A = this chain, B = another copy of it.
């Protein structure tokens, strides 16, 4: 067992770490259930060693050495994922990308910026803002997630309704395949040259390759930026107003529709009790923003919206990345998580009703709420939040599982997609078959075997263990 560490040390020297603090810090991601297990003293084990790669060649060497030794490798970025895609085992090597840091090149004429994969999101965004540009991708995790992680998890940011999700922003990538070979896709605005190879790795959650470099297609910072807000008698009426805006083609980067619970929890100064808040942020050339603001106001008021003070948008912008940690909540006796799913417009009211109703049947439940935050021509996401009071800590994992199971069951019953932007990890892997079908799971397994025949790259994430997908 020490052979693998010795072999890695020979190639990578002091970039192979085995001290207790480093191993502890690389056991898992930010999955709520992993937090509970830690609290209960049954947390994920330490890995065998951590490799802190500082070059693409370091990554390739690590993969080659681990393949020769038949040792599993867990790619590790900011570890801000919330679905359990990272969970060490005592024999695995964790491969941290955080030493792959910083800007590689920026081209203002092409609006492109290439970063090494371990760069923190906020650092990448701040770097391009020096030149008056933006990546246009702002997940709540922006201060702790890496740009490579955005791609590996198929992330969506808060401005996605106008600027798209990571698949619309990623122009090119460099990825090390399980056999140590390096794929670099071309920086071309568009190609019809076979299947889009970037897509194999977007959402692969570290199971098909290790992303080492990403190139984003940037935008200039907008000339104008204006908030706008309304409230509605029902969540359904608000969602219908969002649909009508999307249909005509208006595209505010931010359009968030909160149910009455969340409106009261976060915006009581702007929204009367029982009403449902819609919050918008418009960006772009001033004349386009003005035309959009007027059109949205007209359409929304027709749909039953009542305008409220847009300072709630500033309030949201200020507080949007501040949420209490799972640990704080757990220590107060609360089991808490968020579950983001998506569906076409026709299914939204039923999905909202089914999930919140089913969650409210869980003993001790005190929160079962939702908002929509990413909209499309065909539908929107719903971002559910649940919280349950659990007296005995030992029962927390069980209650957590029950809330998830109820939400997933309701999604499948309604016909909704099971994951909008957090990914699959471990929490949803047994439900992947409901999303992509038996043929889809079989196809993903073929892809996995073709690229990683020994199954060494992040085993246990995304794909359920063989056989487990049978219903």
Contact = CB atoms under 8 A, between A and B. Distances in A.
A219 interface: yes
A237 interface: no
Determine how many copies of this chain the complex contains. Answer: 2
A230 B122 CA distance: 41
Interface stretch (A50-58, A182-190, A359-367): A182-190
Interface stretch (A22-30, A39-47, A151-159, A268-276): A151-159
A130 interface: no
A201 interface: yes
A378 interface: yes
A96 to B, nearest CB: 22
Given A199-B199, A217-B378, A345-B110, A447 B450 contact: yes
A443 B183 contact: yes
Contacts of A111: 247, 377-378
B188 A417 contact: yes
Nearest to A169: B377
Interface string A390-420: 0000000000000000000000000011111
Contacts of A156: 190, 192
- A interface, how many residues as a size bin? 35 or more
Contact of A449 (B183, B247, B376, B450): B450
A189 B443 contact: no
A355 to B, nearest CB: 15
Contacts of A462: 194
A287 B295 CA distance: 8
Given A107-B346, A185-B440, A346-B110, A191 B249 contact: no
28 contacts: A109-B344, A109-B345, A111-B378, A112-B378, A154-B196, A155-B192, A165-B190, A183-B436, A183-B439, A187-B344, A188-B343, A189-B379, A190-B417, A191-B418, A192-B203, A193-B418, A194-B424, A194-B432, A194-B444, A195-B201, A195-B204, A195-B447, A196-B203, A219-B249, A285-B295, A290-B291, A443-B451, A450-B450
Considering the complex of A and B, which 4 residue pairs feature the smallest CB-CB distances, nearest first? A188-B417, A199-B199, A189-B376, A154-B192
Given A109-B344, A194-B205, 17 more contacts: A110-B344, A112-B344, A153-B192, A156-B192, A185-B440, A187-B378, A188-B417, A189-B375, A190-B381, A192-B421, A193-B417, A193-B432, A194-B424, A195-B203, A196-B203, A197-B444, A288-B292
